């Protein structure tokens, strides 16, 4: 990841059409998975006609249409929003830490948010019941983010990039143990805690979409606004400061966006793993280093991946639903392994 | 049935030959020389069986909460000592109670079988995930080892008569479903689960007859709407559980049970924890009262 | 803060003894300290049965498991030269857990006695895979750890997948893996004791060479230590100890992470002293965790693994804040 492969000013016929082409292909993939996510693998025989009927001729008494509007649509929307949030959070994290392994799950930030969520739901502190869930997960994400920042040495000028991964893993482990114990102290289902540790969107409603929207829109907006600054930062911090940019300010703003994005995703879907790690790498491989393109592409790719994962989560044990986090973590963990191996490959 | 009678005959014969009671349990052959007086049980279904015979256990793995045993059973027996959670019962307390027999569950307690045997003769039976028929078979075995085989057979026969009477009275061709709901989700009980088995015994149709393998099925609202039970009974663990989220969706009102106002919130302790003849009859009563 | 070694050892041993007596005395049934000693050597004491059948084996197993995990953590941190490294980080624990869950899912009727060897096999399998994938990386400890982390994440995802697809048939295996000493008895002692008896002296033999390693690779090589071989040997010893511990008690976290730190802050960096002191600290940690697991909410038993997290985690964070340059 040297600064030489930056394609800000590249100009060739292919370069000119490359980005629109990639966006077009991704958009098609997105639409196809959106379509399949809405109407396939249901015990009801939903058809494309039902989807059209919902759009043009909605009848609230028709059960197939109700299923699409009342269950599939919120679920699909949440998948899209969570995918966007996690992917952009990962992109920003990788941008400001310049660590290719940075992501909500590897750094333990989503585990922190999930712990806060689980702790509040156990009712051990009744006062927490009156605080909106978004604020609770934000507090969790913020605390674990700050802890991992300092433990991982991100405030130091020269730190081993693997140090922060180790800090994240330790934090992750800590949060998982605490989530377990919170659930065990609260009730008797001591061994059924998997639910809090894996993200799931099986039972989402339209309200969940509204819960996510504010945090997600602010986060997205911030990411778009910071895109240019992140490009400068990628070239080098000194260059950036000399060009009148303020690296510190960019970092703080991006961190706020990251916290908002992760918190809104976790408060609805739980800690869905590895989207934030995978998507930015795929996007960079496709389109290069320009953050002004990377932000929208990551959003689109993240949403697509979540939709595909959602379809798979219904396929693997049809007609039973599985948590979507299972699918993303199986794919993501292998991706992580491959990435780690590439990262440490002896450079010749 | 033949098997049952054969077991009983065998038990009666062996009773006549010696003072030793033998049954086949999940670990092989279980035999006991004397009639046990101090019994520790590690699952709720065994409490029901003992209570039917009027025997009070000295210790129960009640998860530290005596109220998990339903009043109908609790009133039949004297107070017991809690021996901790069902998944990790406290061996020290069990041994300090100096029991002369322990009844444990195959699935949960096979790991500590050796430890339990050191304390007292241990009968390992099916309890967790058992079906209605498994339960009756286990109850009959408990009758044999307690030297009350004849009485237990009589109790089972009476229970069968009452259940037949209920079945006759209820006589519905509608689809029934029992589910439990916690903060983590809603789980349907198939005919393989105890509550499903009781419904089957009463001649009621299950809303999920296709689930023949699994006893408990995690469900989404979509699947529940598809199952579309005419009578839906939900046992809630807690005040605010997953089913309350389901209720906020317009689709909830499309479930036939909700439409016909035959949706019932019931006690999960009765329907899912306290498996046994006493509980089954109360369940039958509840079903009878809800059916129009 | 350096303290005289003799003082450290004496206090650790005293602490261990205190906790041991407390461990045997306290629980759902309380036994006065004097009765504890009586129960230990006379068979007609009323508490003899509880002490000899439940508390004594649990005490010994917790102690040995704690010692094994702690030494394992010390060796791994010594080799990787990173205070955040531990057996969990290298994927040993999750490899062992994956093996147990796989056994439970695909062979549900397997006898319970198959679980420890399966866990051991899983731990070694995970290590073999790690050593294969990271075979070029023995000279670059941090990179080595990274591959371990990624491997652990992969095993973790596989475990979650298996548990979701086969939800109900996992009770026994789950209980085994929650990091608990509940239900462990004399039969489990041979699963851990021989490992420790063989590997702890071996670790002591390695101690001098490990000290050289701490000086940096260049110095160590010039002093004639086969750095690569030493690293490999240490990792194999460490991982054997951790696998043995996991095969008995499941994953008990933070012991391998915290104990070495605590001891290093007291004794400095001489491994010859560190190894026995770390073993003692690990033993104290797990014994106290098992003690609190039994006495916090009687008659309910909590998993000891959660208690070690509660004891270990705050201390761990406190320690990390004090670390500066690494």
Q: Which of A25, A75, A71 is nearest to A311 (CA)?
A: A75
CA–CA dist A312, A307 (Å, integer): 9
Mean pLDDT of A22-39: 89
DSSP A178-191: HHHHHHHHH-S-TT
Measured between CB atoms, which of B183, B217, B248 is closest to A205? Answer: B248
Measured between CB atoms, which of C145, C152, C313 is closest to A162? Answer: C145
Using the structure block, give the residue that is written with the tokens 């051990």: A124
- Could you give the C-alpha distances from A161 to A111, A168, C257, C265, in angstroms and in order? 20, 11, 20, 25
Query: Tokens at residue C271, please?
Result: 């491994």
Q: Is the pLDDT of residue A20 over 70?
A: yes
Convert A177-200 to b/e letters by CB count within 10 Å (16 or more is b). bbbbbbbbbbbbebbebbbbbbbb
CA–CA dist C271, C208 (Å, integer): 7
> 3-class SS at B234?
strand
**A343 close contact with C: CB closer than 8 A:** yes
Tell me how crowded residue A322 is: count the other CB atoms within 10 A of its CB. 22
Tell me how crowded residue C298 is: count the other CB atoms within 10 A of its CB. 18
Q: Is the pLDDT of residue A305 over 90?
A: yes
For residue B111, the chain C residues in CB contact (below 8 A) are 112, 172, 175-176, 183
Q: Is the pLDDT of residue C14 over 90?
A: yes
User: A120 to chain B, minimum CA–CA distance in Å?
Assistant: 12
Whether B82 and C299 lie within 8 Å, measured CB to CB:
yes
Whether C147 and A340 lie within 8 Å, measured CB to CB:
yes
Whether C55 and B216 lie within 8 Å, measured CB to CB:
no
Q: pTM of whole model > 0.80?
A: yes
Whether B91 and C49 lie within 8 Å, measured CB to CB:
no
The whole-number pLDDT of residue B3 equals 62
Q: Which of A70, A96, A238, A232 is nearest to A154 (CA)?
A: A96
For residue B182, the chain A residues in CB contact (below 8 A) are 187, 189
Whether A173 and C305 lie within 8 Å, measured CB to CB:
no
Residue of A nearest to C136 (CA): A346
Using the structure block, give the residue that is written with the tokens 């992470």: C257
Name the band, by pLDDT with cuts 50, 70 and 90, for residue A176: confident
Residue of A nearest to B216 (CA): A320
The dihedral built from the CA positions of residue B13, B17, B20 and B22, taken in this order, carries a sign that is negative
Mean pLDDT of A285-299: 92
Say if residue A201 is exposed, middle or buried (CB neighbours under 10 Å; 0-12, 13-18, 19+).
buried
The whole-number pLDDT of residue C116 equals 85
For residue A160, the chain C residues in CB contact (below 8 A) are 142, 326
Q: Is the pLDDT of residue C260 over 60?
A: yes
Choose the mutation target among C77, C100, C154, C301 for the interface with A, i.e. most A CBs under 10 Å.
C154
For residue A166, the chain C residues in CB contact (below 8 A) are 82, 84-85, 89, 145, 149
User: C77 to chain B, minimum CA–CA distance in Å?
Assistant: 35
Q: Which residues are bridge partners to B175 per DSSP?
A: B205
Mean pLDDT of C56-62: 93
Q: Is the pLDDT of residue C96 over 80?
A: yes
The whole-number pLDDT of residue B8 equals 58
User: B125 to chain A, minimum CA–CA distance in Å?
Assistant: 22
The whole-number pLDDT of residue A2 equals 41
User: B64 to chain A, minimum CA–CA distance in Å?
Assistant: 10
Name the band, by pLDDT with cuts 50, 70 and 90, for residue A108: confident
Residues 115-174 of B with CB under 8 A from C: 115, 118, 128-129
Say if residue A39 is exposed, middle or buried (CB neighbours under 10 Å; 0-12, 13-18, 19+).
buried
Helix (H) or strand (E) holding B268: helix B268-268
pLDDT by residue (tens digit) across C262-321? 888 888 878 888 999 999 999 999 999 999 988 887 778 888 888 887 777 777 777 666
Using the structure block, give the residue that is written with the tokens 């940075």: A102
C97: left (phi over 0), alpha (psi -120 to 50) or beta: alpha
Measured between CB atoms, which of B64, B95, B129 is closest to C168? Answer: B129
Name the band, by pLDDT with cuts 50, 70 and 90, for residue A40: confident
Q: Is the pLDDT of residue A1 over 50?
A: no
Residue of B nearest to C299 (CA): B84
Name the band, by pLDDT with cuts 50, 70 and 90, for residue C219: low
CA–CA dist B240, B29 (Å, integer): 46
Residues 36-55 of A with CB under 8 A from C: none
Are the beta carbons of B184 and A195 closer than 8 angstroms?
yes
Whether A321 and B223 lie within 8 Å, measured CB to CB:
yes
The phi, psi pair for B260, rounded to 5°, reads -85, 5
User: C123 to chain B, minimum CA–CA distance in Å?
Assistant: 22
**Helix-helix angle C271-295:C189-214, to 10 degrees:** 140
The whole-number pLDDT of residue B140 equals 92
The whole-number pLDDT of residue C181 equals 86
**A318 close contact with C: CB closer than 8 A:** no
**A184 close contact with C: CB closer than 8 A:** yes
Are the beta carbons of C259 and C285 closer than 8 angstroms?
yes
Q: Among B15-24, C173-182, C233-242, which stretch is predicted with the lowest mean pLDDT?
A: B15-24
Whether B96 and C28 lie within 8 Å, measured CB to CB:
yes
pLDDT by residue (tens digit) across A46-75? 777 777 887 887 777 777 888 888 888 999
Say if residue B33 is exposed, middle or buried (CB neighbours under 10 Å; 0-12, 13-18, 19+).
exposed
Tell me if ipTM is over 0.90: no
**B96 close contact with C: CB closer than 8 A:** yes
């Amino acid at each position: 990841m040297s600064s030489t492969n930056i394609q800000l000013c590249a100009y060739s016929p292919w370069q000119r059409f490359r980005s629109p082409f990639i966006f077009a292909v991704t958009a098609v993939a997105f639409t196809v998975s959106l379509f399949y996510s809405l109407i396939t693998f249901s015990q009801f025989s939903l058809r494309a006609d039902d989807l059209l009927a919902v759009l043009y001729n909605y009848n609230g008494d028709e059960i197939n249409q109700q299923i699409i509007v009342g269950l599939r649509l919120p679920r699909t929307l949440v998948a899209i929003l969570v995918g966007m949030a996690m992917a952009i959070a990962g992109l920003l994290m990788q941008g400001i830490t310049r660590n290719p392994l940075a992501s909500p799950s590897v750094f333990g930030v989503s585990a922190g948010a999930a712990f806060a969520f689980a702790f509040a739901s156990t009712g051990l502190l009744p006062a927490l019941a009156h605080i909106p869930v978004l604020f609770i997960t934000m507090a969790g994400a913020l605390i674990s983010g700050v802890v991992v920042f300092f433990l991982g040495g991100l405030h130091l000028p020269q730190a081993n990039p693997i140090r922060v991964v180790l800090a994240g893993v330790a934090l992750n482990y800590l949060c998982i143990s605490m989530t377990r114990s919170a659930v065990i102290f609260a009730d008797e289902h001591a061994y059924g805690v998997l639910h809090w540790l894996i993200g799931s969107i099986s039972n989402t409603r339209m309200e969940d979409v509204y819960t996510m929207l504010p945090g997600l829109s602010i986060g997205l907006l911030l990411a778009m606004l910071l895109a240019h600054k992140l490009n400068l930062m990628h070239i080098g911090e000194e260059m950036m400061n000399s060009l009148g940019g303020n690296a510190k300010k960019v970092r703080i703003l991006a961190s706020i966006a990251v916290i908002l994005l992760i918190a809104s995703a976790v408060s609805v879907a739980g800690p869905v793993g590895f989207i934030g790690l995978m998507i930015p790498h795929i996007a960079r491989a496709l389109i290069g280093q320009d953050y002004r393109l990377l932000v929208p592409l990551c959003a689109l790719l993240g949403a697509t991946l979540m939709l595909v994962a959602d379809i798979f989560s219904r396929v693997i044990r049809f007609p039973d639903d599985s948590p979507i986090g299972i699918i993303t973590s199986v794919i993501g963990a292998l991706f992580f392994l491959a990435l780690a191996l590439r990262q440490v490959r002896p450079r010749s | 049935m033949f098997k049952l009678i054969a077991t009983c005959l065998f038990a009666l014969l062996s009773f006549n030959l010696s003072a030793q009671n033998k049954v086949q349990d999940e670990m092989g052959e279980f035999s006991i020389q004397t009639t046990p007086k101090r019994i520790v049980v590690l699952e709720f279904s065994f409490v029901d069986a003992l209570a039917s015979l009027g025997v009070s256990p000295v210790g129960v793995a009640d998860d530290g909460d005596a109220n998990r045993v339903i009043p109908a059973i609790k009133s039949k027996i004297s107070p017991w000592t809690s021996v901790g959670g069902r998944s990790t019962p406290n061996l020290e307390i069990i041994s300090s109670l100096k029991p002369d027999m322990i009844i444990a569950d195959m699935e949960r307690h096979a790991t500590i079988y050796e430890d339990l045997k050191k304390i007292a003769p241990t009968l390992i039976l099916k309890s967790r995930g058992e079906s209605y028929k498994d339960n009756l078979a286990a109850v009959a075995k408990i009758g044999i080892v307690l030297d009350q085989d004849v009485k237990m057979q009589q109790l089972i026969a009476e229970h069968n008569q009452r259940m037949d009477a209920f079945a006759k009275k209820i006589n519905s061709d509608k689809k029934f479903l029992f589910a439990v709901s916690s903060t983590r989700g809603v789980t349907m009980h198939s005919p393989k689960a105890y509550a499903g088995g009781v419904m089957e015994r009463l001649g009621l149709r299950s809303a999920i007859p296709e689930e023949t393998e699994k006893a408990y099925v995690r469900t989404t609202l979509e699947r529940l709407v598809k199952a579309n039970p005419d009578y839906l009974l939900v046992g809630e663990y807690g005040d605010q559980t997953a089913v309350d989220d389901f209720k906020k969706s317009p689709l909830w009102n499309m479930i036939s049970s909700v439409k016909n106002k035959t949706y019932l919130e019931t006690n999960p302790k009765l329907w899912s924890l306290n498996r046994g003849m006493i509980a089954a009859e109360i369940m039958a009563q509840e079903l009878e009262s809800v059916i129009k | 803060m350096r303290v005289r070694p003799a003082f450290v050892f004496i206090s650790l041993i005293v602490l261990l003894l205190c906790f041991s007596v407390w461990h045997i005395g306290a629980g759902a049934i309380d036994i006065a300290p004097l009765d504890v000693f009586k129960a230990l050597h006379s068979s007609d004491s009323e508490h003899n049965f509880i002490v000899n059948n439940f508390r004594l084996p649990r005490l010994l197993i917790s102690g040995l498991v704690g010692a094994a995990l702690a030494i394992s953590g010390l060796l791994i941190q010594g080799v990787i030269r990173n205070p955040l490294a531990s057996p969990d980080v290298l994927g040993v624990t999750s490899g062992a857990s994956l093996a147990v869950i796989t056994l439970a899912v695909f062979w549900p009727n397997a006898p319970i006695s198959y679980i420890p060897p399966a866990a051991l096999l899983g731990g070694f399998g995970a290590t073999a895979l790690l050593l294969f994938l990271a075979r070029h990386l023995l000279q670059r400890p941090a990179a080595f750890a990274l591959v371990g982390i990624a491997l652990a994440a992969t095993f973790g995802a596989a475990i979650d997948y298996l548990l979701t697809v086969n939800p109900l048939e996992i009770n026994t295996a789950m209980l085994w893996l929650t990091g608990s000493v509940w239900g462990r008895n004399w039969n489990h002692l041979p699963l851990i004791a021989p490992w420790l008896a063989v590997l702890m002296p071996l670790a002591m033999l390695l101690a001098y060479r490990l000290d050289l390693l701490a000086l940096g690779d260049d110095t160590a090589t010039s002093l004639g230590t086969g750095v690569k071989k030493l690293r490999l040997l240490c990792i194999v010893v460490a991982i054997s100890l951790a696998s043995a511990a996991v095969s008995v008690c499941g994953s008990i976290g933070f012991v391998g992470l915290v104990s070495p730190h605590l001891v290093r802050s007291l004794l400095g960096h001489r491994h010859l002293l560190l190894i026995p002191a770390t073993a003692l600290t690990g033993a104290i940690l797990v014994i106290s965790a098992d003690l609190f697991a039994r006495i916090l909410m009687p008659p309910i038993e909590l998993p000891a693994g959660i208690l070690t997290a509660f004891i270990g985690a705050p201390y761990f964070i406190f320690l990390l804040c004090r670390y500066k340059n690494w």
